[in-house]
Structure formats: structure tokens, C-alpha cells
């Protein structure tokens, strides 16, 4: 559990930044070099390297250097762990609220009938 908590920590910290979430979203559509990402997000190479470093540290992104180009891709499974965790809450509340919808609809009908 402690280990899991650390993974979550690093992941949430990494995802607290809009640019980094954008990078994850971009890499979800295909691998990209640091240069591509810097261009896309209108940043310096140094700035983008820092963001990618944070994501890499959290295990959300892996990078590989071939020649002079560093290619970034999504990490194997950690984003999934983070989304699974939130998804559990979402499913509970959605199930609740779907049934609340039914109750609200009934109350509305009753009011109309009056």
C-alpha cells in the first residue's frame, strides 16, 4: 500500500500541470521527440525536457535516445493505475446518481400531476 501510495503521489504531482497532461494526451496519439513536443507546446527544449523528466520520474512516460533524438512514449501501465483509482470513485457516484435521476423524474411527474 505504501508503495502504491508513492506511485500515486508522483503521478498526481506529474499530472497537476496542464502542459504535462497535454503531453500525455499527445503521446496517447503516438510517440514524439522532445523537439516535437517543445514545438507543439511552444516551449524551449530545456523547459520541455524538465516536464518530460517529471513524467518519466512518475513512470508515466518512458524515453529512449537514438542518435541525437530523444523519443518519448507513454509508460506501460501507471497511467492506467491512476485512472483506475479515480474510476472506482466515479463508478460509485455514477451508479448512485443514475438512481437519483429516477427519483427526481418521479418527483417531477408527481408535481405535474398535482
Partner 1 sequence: MKNETKVERKSERELVITRTFNGPARIVYEAWTKPELFQRWWVPKSSGLTLISCEQDIRVGGTYRLVFRHPAAPEGMAFFGTYKEVTPNARLAWTNEENGGGQFTTVSFEEVSGKTKVVVLELYPSKEALDEGHALGAASGMIESFDQLEEFLPNIS
Q: Which residues bind partner 1 (CB under 8 A)?
A: 1, 4-5, 8-9, 12, 86, 88-105, 107-108, 111
Least gap, CB of 19 to partner 1 (angstroms): 18
Nearer CB in complex with partner 1: 9/64: 9
Backbone angles phi, psi at 42, to 5 degrees: 55, 50
Nearer CB in complex with partner 1: 68/89: 89
Cβ neighbours of residue 27 closer than 8 Å, sequence gap 6 or more: 61, 72, 73, 74
CA distance 17 to 40: 16
Whether the Cβ atoms of residue 56 and residue 78 lie closer than 8 Å to each other: no
> What are all long-range contacts of 85-94, with beta carbons under 8 Å and residues at least 24 apart?
85/8
Nearer CB in complex with partner 1: 17/99: 99
Least gap, CB of 112 to partner 1 (angstroms): 11
Least gap, CB of 30 to partner 1 (angstroms): 27
Nearer CB in complex with partner 1: 40/96: 96
Amino acid at each position: 500500500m505504501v508503495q502504491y501510495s508513492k506511485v500515486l503521489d508522483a503521478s498526481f504531482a506529474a499530472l497537476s500541470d496542464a502542459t504535462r497532461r497535454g503531453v500525455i494526451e499527445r503521446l496517447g496519439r503516438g510517440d514524439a521527440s522532445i523537439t516535437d513536443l517543445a514545438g507543439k507546446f511552444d516551449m524551449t527544449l530545456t523547459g520541455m525536457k524538465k516536464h518530460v523528466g517529471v513524467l518519466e520520474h512518475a513512470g508515466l512516460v518512458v524515453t529512449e535516445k537514438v542518435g541525437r533524438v530523444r523519443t518519448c512514449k507513454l509508460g506501460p501501465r501507471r497511467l492506467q493505475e491512476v485512472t483506475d483509482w479515480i474510476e472506482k470513485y466515479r463508478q460509485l457516484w455514477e451508479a448512485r446518481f443514475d438512481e437519483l435521476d429516477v427519483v427526481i423524474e418521479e418527483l417531477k411527474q408527481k408535481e405535474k400531476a398535482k
